[in-house]
Homo-oligomer: A and B are copies of this chain.
């Protein structure tokens, strides 16, 4: 049996630690050079496989690959490109297998969220049928933290740490200013469907900060919200508000989409944060500041959680190890053994149970009033933001993030139209 090559691709929104998983995959494959040939990476994710744009990672030095561990973003490029169902577009799946066959690729490591778990599952099934079996292993990644079975998803812990720390810092700021100036600080965080990231902001309550959190899971009730904020300001002199981008009115319309128009009539300028800030200002008259963290939160490798970086790496490494054990159509997972002290090990889940299943935040993680988190939620979150894993900095004072050479392998197949 000849040595097979491997294919690795990054999918969907990138994170501060997805490259740490890439590092885990490539370094572990290099350790097993007797069993695995070259690791090819898809240029811009799965699109690179379809168009046969394969980055030859063997051209990258050990040092460059090691630097991936502390570089945010997707070093090989990612994409938002969901393969259609097998019935709708068998052509794309067949092309994938053809490319894998042409480059002797026997291992498919796909690093992403729910959609890519589904793709990974289908590749494994179809390759078998097409007589060129590929071991397909999914490496979990998503700041949304919504993959099932695994305790958490790499990328989430670092966003959570960034949001918890940033909310704390900005709250200290508004506390300093509240006597004569700003009394309200609103921070908008990611999470269109689930309030995992917003929950991390709510942790600042443990640090003496009056905070009201708006989750996508809880319908926005303007009157009740204003009463909650006003009570905090009257007691503490100020209040911080963490609002999830997915926060919505009872009719399902997002706060961020409430018909905002500029003077030219252009729709939807705003985020949820300015909307919430203005609701408070109009009703209660308090001076506000607001921030929208957007990409800053998921790219903030400078404040990554050490737990997260380590798990992202371990899951990438485990994907390769499990492939070498002959495993197929699985996703390595994080299994929590204990929260305090934090102990975990790597498990695995069959892709059939991962694909198309979305893990929501348990309702008993949200406090009764709907504006905070429970002790159970805190016990879940703190281990995920534990520890710091700083990147190196250069003499200018800037982080040493790596940009790879990304040399493309010679094509062997005719072009493919996306």
Q: What is the interface of chain A, defined by CB distance below 8 A to chain B? A: 10, 13-14, 16, 44-45, 47, 71-75, 77-81, 161, 164-166, 168-170, 172-181, 185, 187, 203, 206-208, 258-263, 266, 269-271, 273-275, 278, 282, 289-296, 298-303, 305, 307, 382, 385-388, 390, 393, 395-399, 401, 403
Contacts and interface: CB of A to CB of B under 8 A. Distances in A.
B269 A78 contact: no
A298 B395 CA distance: 23
Contacts of A72: 169, 172-173
A43 B295 CA distance: 37
A72 B175 CA distance: 11
A254 to B, nearest CB: 13
A251 to B, nearest CB: 13
A195 to B, nearest CB: 19
B385 A388 contact: no
Given A73-B175, A262-B278, A271-B274, A399 B180 contact: no
Contacts of A397: 161, 164, 305, 307, 382, 385-388
Contacts of A45: 179
Q: Report, nearest first, the 10 A-B pairs whose CB atoms are least far apart.
A: A259-B263, A73-B172, A74-B176, A169-B299, A291-B294, A385-B397, A44-B179, A386-B397, A170-B295, A173-B299
Contacts of A388: 390, 393, 397
Contacts of A290: 292, 294
Contacts of A79: 177, 179-181
A169 B261 contact: no
A221 to B, nearest CB: 17
A71 B302 CA distance: 18
A11 to B, nearest CB: 11
A302 B299 contact: no
A289 B278 contact: no
A169 B393 contact: no
B73 A173 contact: yes
A104 B169 CA distance: 35
Given A176-B74, A291-B292, A296-B170, A270 B266 contact: no
This chain's copy number in the assembly: 2
Output the residue of A45, A289, A292 with the most chain B CB within 10 A. A292
Contacts of A293: 291, 296
Given A47-B179, A176-B74, A269-B278, A395 B401 contact: no
10 contacts: A45-B179, A72-B172, A73-B172, A77-B175, A79-B179, A169-B399, A172-B299, A258-B263, A259-B262, A385-B396
A287 to B, nearest CB: 10
Contacts of A176: 10, 14, 73-75, 77-78
Contacts of A73: 169, 172-173, 175-176
Nearest to A271: B274
